[in-house]
Amino acid sequence: MNDREINGTPFAGEPRRRIAELLGETGVGAFDRLGVGTAQFGNLGQATTEEQVDAVMESAWEAGLRYFDTAPHYGLGLSERRLGQRLGDLPREEYILSTKVGRLLRPHPWPTETDLDNGFAVAGDLYRERDYTGAGMRRSLEESLKRLGLDRVDIVWIHDPEETEDQTDIALASGAPELERMRQEGLFSAWGVGSKDAAVLRRFVDESTPDLLMVSGRHTLLEQDQVGLMGRCLDQGVGVVAVSVFNSGVLASPWPKDGVWYEYGPAPREVLERARTLARIAEGYGIDLPTAALQFPLRHPAVVNVTVGMRTADHVTSNLHRAGTAVPEAFWDQLHRDGLLPADA
């Protein structure tokens, strides 16, 4: 994968020009390569050691990766603290940093031994207070900067406003206008919404003014949105950062095994069989399923970046290899012919 094309197909367009206006050449350069997701720095699913975090950051930086994403949700602030410690030693003008708002961390009145019920192997001494109001988002950013130990971030995402409809409405009515004011105040350069619900993301594009969207699992090799989100983003110049491109694991290995996860639980049989069909076709063209899954989103001109989580230095190496592997155009053509990709994907 080079800076302008993937498999010979340009993905620069209006969203990319908007990135240049908002984030400058640093942002363009950072988004032209893989982004580093850091949920694993917050002990997602299992503990990640300090040595592993160091190795990921060193490998990523040496490879030229310059976009890093975190959130208070990830390990009850652990990801932000770990990432901020490492970024604090690096030239601030050379990377792009994003975090998320919508969950405030508060002392837990009944601490638990672990936060694994929420997916993270950390002590449950804090809880997440949902607050999608403008005031809550401003507080959230202030608290994130303290955990990061940095004076600014570049991008702020509204995090998962879809989980209850009333929170979506609050985020649209109160949160989004406040983020626009905060951007105009110079507190960050761009704001957007991160969600796994394409319909909710479409509402934000239609009813507010996001610069970017973080689309989680809804524009992948396995499935594409059904609400016209991607075309609408292209029309409005809203760039898409594609995440969860492996759909929680079902696309993460060359052959999806029984029991592999999809959407944070065991993959249903029909999903597993579809993934295996994709894997067989990929193998026939000399590539593997994760390579195709990683490269697919960038074929859409609204997509400005793919960000993936990395727990070890080997993950950095393998993901970079997948990003750089040539995928024959005939592979995509066959997926279209076989009805595994719609014509407008």
- DSSP secondary structure of 89-152: TS-GGG-EEEEEESEEEEEEEEEES-BGGGTB-S-EEEEEEE--SHHHHHHHHHHHHHHHT-S-
Length of the chain: 345
Q: Enter the tokens of residue 199.
A: 């319909």
- In the annotation, is 74 catalytic? yes
Cβ atoms of 200 and 164 within 8 Å: the answer is no
Q: Enter the tokens of residue 18.
A: 């908007």
Cβ atoms of 141 and 72 within 8 Å: the answer is no
AA identity, residue 121: A
How far apart are alpha carbons 200 and 183 in whole angstroms?
22
DSSP designation for 75: T
How far apart are alpha carbons 123 and 113 in whole angstroms?
5
Cβ atoms of 305 and 35 within 8 Å: the answer is yes
How far apart are alpha carbons 183 and 168 in whole angstroms?
20
How far apart are alpha carbons 246 and 244 in whole angstroms?
5
Continuous H helices in the chain: 14-31, 50-62, 78-87, 134-148, 165-170, 176-184, 198-207, 229-236, 269-284, 289-295, 313-324, 329-337
Question: Backbone phi, then psi, for 225, in 5-degree steps?
Answer: -65, 155
Among the listed residues 74, 95, 127, 132, the single catalytic one is: 74
Reference 51, options 313, 320, 338; nearest CA is: 313
Give the active site residues. 74
